Amino acid sequence: MNGLPEIPAGWRWSTVQDVGRLDLGRQRHPDWHNGPEMRPYLRVANVFEDRIDTSDVKEMDFSGGVFDRYKLNVGDVLLNEGQSPEFLGRPAIYRGIPENVAFTNTLLRFRAGPDVTPEWALIVFRRHMHARRFIRESRITTNIAHLSSSRLKTVEFPVPPLAEQRQIAEFLEDHLSRLDAADAGLRHSTRRLLAFHHAFLRTVLLGVDVPGLRECRLLPEAGVNDGTLPPLPVGWQWLRLGDVADVVGGVTKDSKRQSDPAFVEVPYLRVANVQRGHLNLDNVATIRVAPAKADALRLQPGDVLLNEGGDRDKLARGWVWEGQIDGCIHQNHVFRARVREGLIDPRLLSWAANTLGAPWAENNGKQTTNLASISLSKIRLMPIPVPLRDVQPGLVQQISDQLAGIDRLAKQVKSGLDRSQALRKSLLDAAFSGRLTGLASDVDMVEELAGV
């Protein structure tokens, strides 16, 4: 097998198909969700890296004597067949819980032969996943990668003696479990930062800490579900988005007219560009539109951009345009809110939409299985807390300073997670190539890899 790294004496290079058996799970069918031989089955949602989540295990009918073909044995390694590219082939060992369980065609099952332990197979597959090796053996459709079982069978597989497999697996598991624990702590910190971020914004936007009396002037009935709007400091008021800003939809792409010589080509923002609290302008597409349309939709500094639909967490998500790209417009899935007469600072409006407006938009929008949307007429009715004008600059400064501190902490947490991921990959690479022996001297290598 040309091009492979050197491995220690006593090891050999092989392929997945030569060291075990690889099978695709059973195709699911709506008619099989009820029947005389109902059995539990595992799917992608159950399989995480070296962990099988049994909190939500489904059942289907395995009549016709097919259960044994798809039944899992203790020690079988499951790999995600379809997943986002970075998690493609994510593996875990089946440990026997739940009992008598099968697997679907969203998973691949590797059953190790006599020369390989399941724990060593797990190491090899984890290394391939982190090295993105599986992506080369996949096909990608709409951001989902599918792992080809026929091509996976030919993927390289190092085979140490069984005793070394066990030693390396035991040593590596100890260090990977420590990384897992550290990652869990960092992710918990991320969740706490997000919760604090949200709570802080609500406190400032609703004037919770402002001394004095509070009042809540009810908004006129508008045929939407506003819930219970909290009281605001005296002088502040609830207004609907359409009362403080002119809100318009964007351009709908007309593929048939993209070659029209009268059209002009302009940059335009899509949902992917409009994030919560910032704009991602790394990849801005262009579109050809009529000159009048380009003029009407041209963004101006201070325009607030709000997402119309997509995943549920994207509704009303957005931020303020600062004129970064000349002549830029926006697509129909992104609304533009242009504040009237300085009624509210655009940043306060956007923060309010991101925190208070997001759940309101979800309650008042349309829902499908995984998608949500809200109409232009509905989003104009979103309630917005409007502070007194003379206090708005101070609120903007207070929020900006606090969010800058939160952002610094979030970057530190992300740096820790990135470093952990890099160390995890380095450890797996070292095990894969025979540089880990399972002996005490490996501690020095771990310290070197960790930069200690």
pLDDT digits (tens, 9 = 90+) for 354-398: 999 999 998 998 877 667 889 999 999 999 999 999 999 999 999
Residues 6+ positions from 93 with CB-CB distance below 8 Å:
50, 52, 75, 76, 77, 78, 118, 119, 122
Using alpha carbons, list the distances in angstroms from residue 436 to 176, 326, 442, 444, 446. 13, 55, 6, 10, 9
Give the pLDDT score at 297. 96
pLDDT tens for each residue of 208-218: 999 999 988 88
Quote the mean pLDDT of the chain.
Answer: 90
Structure confidence at residue 441 as a pLDDT band (50, 70, 90): low
- Over range 245-270, report the average pLDDT: 88
- Of 12-26, 300-314, 330-344, give the lowest mean pLDDT range: 300-314
**Structural domain 1-159, CATH architecture:** Alpha-Beta Complex (3.90)
Domain segments of the chain as ranges: 1-159, 162-207+388-452, 212-386
Q: Which residues pair with 138 in a beta bridge?
A: 147
268 conformational bin, left if phi > 0, alpha if psi -120 to 50, beta if neither: beta
Using alpha carbons, list the distances in angstroms from residue 329 to 29, 240, 280, 321. 44, 24, 15, 11
| Interior/surface letters 56-95, b for 16+ CB within 10 angstroms, e for the rest | ebebbbbeeeebeebbbeebbbbbbbbbeeebbbbbbbbe
pLDDT tens for each residue of 66-105: 999 999 999 999 999 887 777 888 999 999 988 999 999 9
Give the pLDDT score at 452. 42
Q: How many CA atoms lie within 13 A of 298 on its CB side?
A: 13
Of the candidates 191, 193, 208, the residue with the CA atom closest to the CA atom of residue 398: 208
Whether residue 439 is predicted with pLDDT greater than 60 in this model: the reply is no
d(CA 432, CA 426) in angstroms, rounded, equals: 10
Taking the domain 212-386, which CATH number applies?
Answer: 3.90.220.20
Give the pLDDT score at 375. 93
Q: Do 1-159 and 212-386 show the same overall fold? A: yes
d(CA 352, CA 399) in angstroms, rounded, equals: 12
Whether residue 241 is predicted with pLDDT greater than 80 in this model: the reply is yes
Whether residue 23 is predicted with pLDDT greater than 60 in this model: the reply is yes
- Over range 262-284, report the average pLDDT: 94
Whether residue 146 is predicted with pLDDT greater than 90 in this model: the reply is no
Q: Which residues pair with 61 in a beta bridge?
A: 38
Give the pLDDT score at 136. 86
In 47-176, beta strands by DSSP E: 47-48, 51-52, 58-61, 77-80, 82-83, 91-93, 102-103, 107-112, 138-141, 144-147, 156-159
pLDDT tens for each residue of 29-50: 777 778 888 999 999 889 987 7
Give the pLDDT score at 2. 61
Residue for token pair 């005490």: 440
Residue for token pair 């610094």: 408
Structure confidence at residue 166 as a pLDDT band (50, 70, 90): very high
d(CA 251, CA 289) in angstroms, rounded, equals: 8
Q: Cα dihedral sign for 145, 312, 411, 180?
A: negative
Which pair of structure tokens corresponds to residue 76?
């079988």
Which pair of structure tokens corresponds to residue 256?
């048939």
Which pair of structure tokens corresponds to residue 331?
């697509």
d(CA 387, CA 230) in angstroms, rounded, equals: 14
Whether residue 340 is predicted with pLDDT greater than 60 in this model: the reply is yes
Which pair of structure tokens corresponds to residue 448?
């070197």
Using alpha carbons, list the distances in angstroms from residue 373 to 20, 319, 353, 410. 47, 18, 15, 30
Give the pLDDT score at 54. 87
Whether residue 442 is predicted with pLDDT greater than 80 in this model: the reply is no
pLDDT tens for each residue of 103-122: 999 899 999 999 999 999 99
pLDDT tens for each residue of 405-438: 999 999 999 999 999 988 988 888 888 888 876 5
d(CA 48, CA 77) in angstroms, rounded, equals: 11
Angle between helices 442-450 and 392-432 (to 10 degrees): 150
Whether residue 305 is predicted with pLDDT greater than 50 in this model: the reply is yes
